[in-house]
Amino acid sequence: MNVAKAVATRRSVRAFIDRPVPLETVRRILDQARMAPSGCNYQPWEATVLTGAPLKALQDTLLATAPDDPLEYDFSAPGQVDKYKHRLTSLGAAMYGAMRIGREDVDQRELFSRANLTSFGAPVLLLAHFPKLMKEAQWSDVGMWLQTIMLLLRGEGLDSCPQEWMGMYGRTIRAHLGLPDDTLVFCGIAIGKRDPAHPANTFERERVPLDEQVRFIGF
Amino acid sequence: MNVSDAVANRRSIRVFEDRPVDLALLRKVLEKAQMAPSSMNLQPWHAVVLTAEPLAALSAAMKASKPQKPAEYEMVAKETPAQYLARREAIMGPRMESLGIARDDMAGRNAYGLKNYEFFGAPACLFTFVPRALSANNWASVGLWYQTVMLLLVEAGLASCPQESLAFYASLVKQACGVDDGEYLFWCGMAIGWPDMSAPVNNYARPRVSLDESVKFIGF
């Protein structure tokens, strides 16, 4: 699959088929993703990849636990800037609209949100973490690495869903996996094969026009 | 080009051909990259691409100035563990060797560093800004988009070099790009052009840590 097609067909998949992903495939992808760039070649990314019974055990723990209080980082705040708030609400409207869950149906929305804790049925979960002392620039590096993985997954006919939701359970995840306290759990990447018929996987994704974000000078 | 070839072939290019980049081609790449994911769909990337005269004028202004104080942002933690510094040195060694600069020749290394402010001869540079109102995880979203752009450039036959060191001149960059300092922080430049693959600095082997050093597999 070429890059353009991988970029265009990558979407956050929120319903997976119940089919395992072999270790060999995951290792191959992560091995290739090592060539992602990073500032000063720090390669600040770390990950723990779970499947099978150990994944189920983690999920059971998460389901029985409340989110961290306080959170270790807050991904839900789009700042006080209206344009970002709008982008967030437009995603919610498209996704829940496709699933016929109304704005006022708080229970159903909550239930679907909690499906994050079982990674929407994905057979594999990659938890991305890094030392807490890393600065914003290293968060960008981790982002470059994660998109490399998500595009390589497309290249193998696989799908993913980045889940910052997991970041709300950093303490629980660290304790469960035996990760050091100075590690920040940034996000999960649910990995598996999409259920193509599920409405959560078919809605049209909205993006702002290019000219709203990029200007060209001197051409 | 398949994805894994693009990932393997993308490298920071530091010698470019003297040949302009077509606006239509660049727009096509950036249009496609819009589908990159982002936290809460905020799409927090903001960028300005300069070429030709405006880019040359910025280069001249940077070369005539000193790095700004205070710094635009702290690029790495002061207390960074030694293992990360070792990863930096692991790539600086072969890079300097490819340039014929001795490992301990700090003057030579610094002189070469100034090429950053000529964008290594690239005909275009994409300057990326992050909204100050947004938190650290949005920098990761900008990273998702950034690598999408770099891989699409490779597929188009183009090449890039991400240049955080341009942030030493963030206020000059903002002036040249017409970007509001109150609203945005300048993160990084990306030199863009056609790679000269005959240059040794575009060919040395790039060291990375082994997979098992950074990733653990459980339950497979």
Extract the runs of DSSP E, i.e. beta strands, from chain B: 46-51, 124-131, 159-163, 184-193, 215-218
Coil/strand/helix, residue A201? helix
ipTM over 0.95: yes
Q: Identify whether the C-beta of residue B203 lies closer than 8 Å to the C-beta of residue B210.
A: no
Q: Would you state the structure tokens that stand for residue A162, as one six-digit string?
A: 């980045």
Q: Identify whether the C-beta of residue B127 lies closer than 8 Å to the C-beta of residue A213.
A: no
Residue B28 lies in a domain: yes
Q: Which residue from A110, A83, A82 is spatially nearest to A96, judged by alpha carbons?
A: A110
Q: How far is B65 from chain A (nearest CA, A)?
A: 22
Contact (CB<8Å) A218/B45: no
B130 chain-A contacts, CB cut-off 8 A: 136
State the Cα–Cα distance between residues B113 and A45, nearest whole angstrom: 26
Name the phi and psi angles at B215, rounded to 5. -130, 135
DSSP B182: T
Topology classification of domain A3-75+117-203 = NADH Oxidase (3.40.109)
Question: What is the pLDDT averaged over residues B155-162?
Answer: 98
What is the interface size between A and B, counted as CB pairs within 8 Å?
289
Q: Is A178 on the interface with B (CB under 8 A)?
A: no
What domain range includes position B191?
3-74+116-199
Percentage of chain A modeled with pLDDT above 70 = 100
Q: Is A140 on the interface with B (CB under 8 A)?
A: yes
Q: Could you say which of B2, B75, B137 has the minimum Cβ distance to residue A75?
A: B137
Residue B54 lies in a domain: yes
DSSP B168: G
Coil/strand/helix, residue A118? helix
Contact (CB<8Å) B87/A43: yes
Question: What is the pLDDT averaged over residues A103-115?
Answer: 92
pLDDT classification of A77: cutoffs 50, 70, 90: confident
CATH number at residue B30: 3.40.109.10
Strand bridging mode A183-192 / A214-217: unpaired
**pLDDT value, residue B80:** 92
Residue B86 lies in a domain: no
**pLDDT value, residue A15:** 98
DSSP B2: B
Tell me the residue length of chain B: 220
B37 chain-A contacts, CB cut-off 8 A: 10-12, 147, 150, 162
pLDDT classification of B104: cutoffs 50, 70, 90: confident
pLDDT classification of A96: cutoffs 50, 70, 90: very high
B177 chain-A contacts, CB cut-off 8 A: 215, 217
State the Cα–Cα distance between residues A140 and A122, nearest whole angstrom: 25
Q: Identify whether the C-beta of residue A137 lies closer than 8 Å to the C-beta of residue B166.
A: no
Contact (CB<8Å) A35/B91: no
**pLDDT value, residue A76:** 74
Coil/strand/helix, residue A74? coil
Taking phi over 0 as left and psi of -120 to 50 as alpha, with beta for the rest, A111 belongs to alpha
Residue B201 has pLDDT above 90, yes or no: yes
Residue A166 has pLDDT above 80, yes or no: yes
| CB-count burial class (<10 Å; 0-12, 13-18, 19+) for A35 | middle
Q: Would you state the structure tokens that stand for residue B202, as one six-digit string?
A: 């575009």
Question: What is the pLDDT averaged over residues B57-65?
Answer: 98
Residue B92 lies in a domain: no
State the Cα–Cα distance between residues A30 and A51, nearest whole angstrom: 15
Amino acid at B129: F
Closest-CA residue of chain A to B2? A2
Determine what percent of chain A falls in helix, strand and coil, rounding each to the nearest 5.
50, 15, 35
DSSP A183-195: EEEEEEEEEE-B-
The full set of domain ranges for chain A reads 3-75+117-203
A217 chain-B contacts, CB cut-off 8 A: 48-51, 54, 177-178
pLDDT classification of A81: cutoffs 50, 70, 90: confident
Residue A79 has pLDDT above 80, yes or no: no
**pLDDT value, residue A187:** 98
Question: What is the pLDDT averaged over residues A9-36?
Answer: 98
Coil/strand/helix, residue A2? strand
Residue B181 has pLDDT above 90, yes or no: yes
* pLDDT greater at residue B27 or residue A83: B27
First to last CA, chain B: 31
Residue B21 lies in a domain: yes
Residue B220 lies in a domain: no
Q: Is A18 on the interface with B (CB under 8 A)?
A: no
pLDDT classification of B103: cutoffs 50, 70, 90: confident
Q: Is A147 on the interface with B (CB under 8 A)?
A: yes
Q: Could you say which of A8, A78, A138 has the minimum Cβ distance to residue B40?
A: A78
Query: Count of domains in chain B?
Result: 1
Q: Which residue from B69, B78, B108 is spatially nearest to B92, judged by alpha carbons?
A: B108
Strand bridging mode A46-51 / B215-218: parallel
Mean pLDDT of chain A: 96
Residue A158 has pLDDT above 80, yes or no: yes
**pLDDT value, residue A177:** 98
Residue A74 has pLDDT above 90, yes or no: no
How many helical (H) and strand (E) elements, i.e. helices and strands, does chain B have?
8, 5
**pLDDT value, residue A60:** 98
Q: Identify whether the C-beta of residue B127 lies closer than 8 Å to the C-beta of residue B173.
A: yes
Q: Is A73 on the interface with B (CB under 8 A)?
A: yes
Question: What is the pLDDT averaged over residues B124-148?
Answer: 96
* pLDDT greater at residue B119 or residue A80: B119
**pLDDT value, residue B36:** 98
- Give the best residue of B116, B147, B166 to mutate against chain A (max A CB count within 10 A): B147
Mean pLDDT of chain B: 97
Contact (CB<8Å) A42/B30: no
**pLDDT value, residue A114:** 94
Q: Is A113 on the interface with B (CB under 8 A)?
A: no
**Whole-prediction pTM:** 0.98
State the Cα–Cα distance between residues B87 and A40, nearest whole angstrom: 8
